[in-house]
A and B are shown apart, each in its own frame.
Chain A
Amino acid sequence: MNGTNLFKIALRALANNKMRAFLTMLGIIIGVASVISMLAIGQGSKRSIQQQISEMGSNMIMIHPGGDMRGGVRQDASSMQTLKLENYEKLRDECMYLSAISPNVSSSGQLIAGPNNYPSSVTGVSIDYLKIRQLKVEQGEMFTENDERTAAKVCVIGKTIVDNLFPDGSDPIGKIIRCNKIPLRVIGVLESKGYNSMGMDQDDVVLAPYSTVMKRLLAQTYLSGIFASALTEDMTEEAVDEISGILRREHKLKETDDDDFDIRTQQELSSMLNTTTDLMTTLLACIAGISLVVGGIGIMNIMYVSVTERTREIGLRMSVGARGIDILSQFLIESILISITGGLIGVILGCGASFIIKSVAHWPVFIQPWSVLLSFAVCTFTGVFFGWYPAKKAADLDPIEALRYE
């Protein structure tokens, strides 16, 4: 008995029952299509989050004060005054693995420009900040090192600030906005970045030289943080070690002391978000997987009925010389053909559905080649698994009984 003959026999049997074969296939089609489109949605949102993170600056390193205890009471990180401007200067001068570094101080308050006002905060940074956060000045220009030295009363503002303080559409460049009674002249407008993945408006920002914010707005000598950028993403860890070494030395910490600062990298953030999206992808895939299993049970059901209905045919085939293994193979091939054909149609439909979701609902969608392979493999396995029992039942029939079956 050769395979081609069995294949022909199975194909003929299916061709004799086209409608039934198609309806059986439908379960697999829906299952595979939903697995593929669900995974595409999950992967799509994961990739869009990753992209947003890299837009925020994938090499970014954030240093915050923290981890200090005063008389056994752990202090809030923002109230710590351990991170000084000198620390920033030391890091700027000594760190080998950093391409950019900027102090970060922030003064919140009501911004006023003419008749309009808006609650926001003024962030004191150095010029490097643009590089770290991958920001661009769209209109006007960024402040200079000279402005930093002289604590010039200038600022660069984001689109949200422009919209709220200058709603009449007038050019904000050269206008004065006041924060806590300190007038700042707008010298540049940042290119819009929209919302980030956590729903924060990245355009709600006023950048001023750190010296201006520290001396004129806050009158403080400590920093609320330092932002830096590693040379490459791979060098982030070395950079973190280097920073930590320098800061420990500067803070005169003993070997046994804990760090009195906290270093975070974008990688941590991205892995945290990945965990969330992976969870969502798994959830979606599970739901879709269930429909694939239901489709498989549909195959089993139909094949089971088919075996009963074709008992006489099976008896005849056995009487003309079909062995048990031949009958088993025939029914297995039938169910595998159903599941593979259904799988192929499902792949096409799933890809189609993903594109429709992308173009109509504008969701980020990405079809991973492995998800197509996976669902195809699963549906072939489904065919074998759920076809096995009915096929075995057919193969185990007694030819005498089967021939007499009415």
Chain B
Amino acid sequence: MSKTVIELQNIKRNFLVGDEVVHALRGISFSIQEGEFVTIMGTSGSGKSTLLNTLGCLDTPTSGEYLLDGVSVRTMSKPQRAVLRNRKIGFVFQNYNLLPKTTAVENVELPLMYNSSVSAAERRRRATEALIAVGLGDRLEHKSNQMSGGQMQRVAIARALVNNPAVILADEATGNLDTRTSFEILVLFQKLHAEGRTIIFVTHNPELSQYSSRNIRLRDGHVIEDCVNPHILSAAEALAALPKNDDE
């Protein structure tokens, strides 16, 4: 039995919009084991953004218990959650969110800048390793505005890897990319999965669920489907099957 990384017990999250209470999450329970590649799907308004924020310790649930790597998050203070994010979570965003006018390696170093136990030399070494792992070993000193969308997303993934997190949270990580680049990024995620990383991929695109090991579907704040994917497609094969670009 592998280790449980994430455990949600009847998570509810209510928002007060004006005088009206909006129930974004209406009691969600599931747990994710180490090394799983989970796709969380749902249409807009299904509560997946709220769930992602909760999983990422950016938000706390109104009720229910959330254990991240065995630690209860709900009662934590804001600074405590910030430290927890720094050590246990790697974020990958749809719009990359790289620092402007900053080199790739400096962008990747960012999470370690907020961890005083990592020395400057150690920080540089780990950032370089992470960039090599995502295939950007030759672009360490490129500035963020000199890179393509795919490259920027790779830098963002390297940044999510650099603190060796318990879980990588990807929010529509391929949403801004063309089909070919999307598959390249998916190949990278599958590679990380194969290396034993725990990945949660939030998307509204049902197609992507075929490449992950487990699918969770949300609707109106409830989990309506939670199944293991019996036939995991290889993103590398799908990429090879794509028609070649005209300019190549």
Residues of A bordering B, CB below 8 Å: 1-2, 5, 8-9, 12, 16, 312-313, 315-326, 399-400, 403
Tell me which of B53-61, B133-141, B205-213, B236-244 binds A: B53-61
Given known pairs A16-B102, A400-B59, the reply for A321 and B97 (CB within 8 Å) is: no
Stretch of B33-41, B106-114, B184-192 that contacts chain A: B106-114
Instruction: Report B-chain residues with C-beta under 8 Å of the C-beta of A5.
Output: 113-114, 116
Contacts A1-B115, A317-B114 given; 11 further ones with Cβ under 8 A? A2-B116, A16-B101, A313-B99, A318-B58, A321-B85, A321-B87, A321-B114, A322-B114, A323-B79, A324-B78, A326-B82
Q: Is the Cβ of A400 less than 8 Å from the Cβ of B58? A: yes
Render B84-101 as a binary contact track against A, CB cut-off 8 A, 1 for contact.
011100010100010111
Taking the complex as formed, is B197 at the interface, i.e. its CB lies under 8 A from any CB of chain A? no
Shortest beta-carbon distance from A315 to chain B in Å: 8
Q: How far is the CA of A319 from the CA of B165 in the complex (A)?
A: 13
Q: List A contacts of B111 (CB < 8 A).
A: 320-321
Q: Which of A1, A12, A319, A403 contacts B102 (CB 8 A)?
A: A12
How far is B97's CA from A399's CA once the two chains are assembled, in angstroms? 13
Asked whether B217 is an interface residue with its Cβ less than 8 Å from the other chain, the reply is no
- In-complex Cβ contact of A324 among B79, B85, B93, B110 (8 A): B79
Task: For chain B, residues 153 to 170, give those with C-beta under 8 angstroms from any C-beta of chain A.
Answer: 159, 163
Complex contacts, A9 vs chain B, CB 8 Å: 113
| Distance in angstroms between the alpha carbons of A318 and B86 in the assembled complex | 9
Which of B85, B102, B116 is close to A320, meaning CB atoms less than 8 Å apart? B85
State in angstroms the CA–CA spacing of A16 and B78 once bound together. Answer: 29
* Cα distance A319–B85 in the bound complex, in angstroms: 7
Q: Are A399 and B58 in contact (CB under 8 A)?
A: yes
Interfacial chain B residues near A326, Cβ < 8 Å: 82, 114
Instruction: Give which listed residue, A12, A16, A321, contacts B86 with CB less than 8 A.
Output: A321
Question: Chain A contacts of B110 at CB under 8 A?
Answer: 316-317, 320
| B53 to A, closest residue via Cβ | A400
* A29 to B: closest C-beta gap in Å: 25
Residue B83 CB within 8 A of the other chain? yes
A-B contact count (CB 8 A): 67
Tell me which residues across on chain A come within 8 A of B87, comparing CB atoms: 321
Main secondary structure of the interface of A (DSSP, over half): helix
Query: A72 vs B117: C-alpha distance in the bound complex, in angstroms?
Result: 91
B83 touches A323 (CB 8 A): yes
User: Are A316 and B101 within 8 A (Cβ)?
Assistant: no
Of the A-B pairs whose beta carbons lie under 8 Å apart in the complex, a sample of 16, sorted by A's number, is A2-B116, A16-B101, A316-B97, A316-B110, A317-B114, A318-B82, A319-B58, A320-B85, A320-B86, A321-B82, A321-B85, A321-B115, A322-B86, A323-B78, A324-B79, A325-B79
Contact, CB under 8 Å: B113 / A8: yes
* Distance A323 CA – B111 CA, assembled complex (angstroms): 12
Contact B83 A321 (CB under 8 A): yes
Residues of chain B within 8 A of A400, CB atoms compared: 53, 58-59
- Closest residue of chain A to B156 (Cβ to Cβ) is A316
For A324, the chain B residues whose CB sits under 8 A away are 78-79, 82
Q: Is the CB of B79 within 8 A of A320?
A: no
Which chain A residues border B99 with CB–CB below 8 Å?
313, 316
Q: How far is the CB of A170 from chain B (nearest CB, A)?
A: 82
Alpha-carbon distance A372/B47, docked complex (angstroms)? 60
User: What residue in chain B is nearest A321 (Cβ atoms)?
Assistant: B86
Q: How far does the Cβ of B144 sit from chain A's closest Cβ, in whole Å? A: 11
Q: Name the B residues within 8 Å of A322 (CB-CB).
A: 82, 86, 114
**Chain B residues near A313 (CB, 8 Å)?**
99-100
> Which B residues lie within 8 Å of A316 (CB)?
93, 97, 99, 110
CA distance in complex: A321, B58 (Å): 10
Q: Are B91 and A319 in contact (CB under 8 A)?
A: yes
Q: Which residues of B contact A312 (CB under 8 A)?
A: 97
CB distance from B60 to the nearest CB of A (A): 11
Residues of A with C-beta under 8 A to B58 = 318-319, 399-400
CB distance from B110 to the nearest CB of A (A): 6
Q: How far is the CA of A1 from the CA of B83 in the complex (A)?
A: 10
Cβ of B79: which chain A residues have Cβ within 8 Å of it? 323-325
The residue of chain B having its C-beta at the shortest distance from the C-beta of A5 within the complex is: B113
A contact residues around B56 at 8 Å (CB): 319
Q: How far is the CB of A312 from chain B (nearest CB, A)?
A: 6
The closest CB in chain A to the CB of B101 belongs to A16
- The residue of chain A having its C-beta at the shortest distance from the C-beta of B93 within the complex is A403
Q: How far is the CA of A400 from the CA of B78 in the complex (A)?
A: 13
Q: How long is the Cα–Cα vector from A316 to B97 in the complex, in angstroms?
A: 7
Cα–Cα, bound, A326→B113 (Å): 11
> Which A residues touch B83, using CB under 8 A?
321, 323
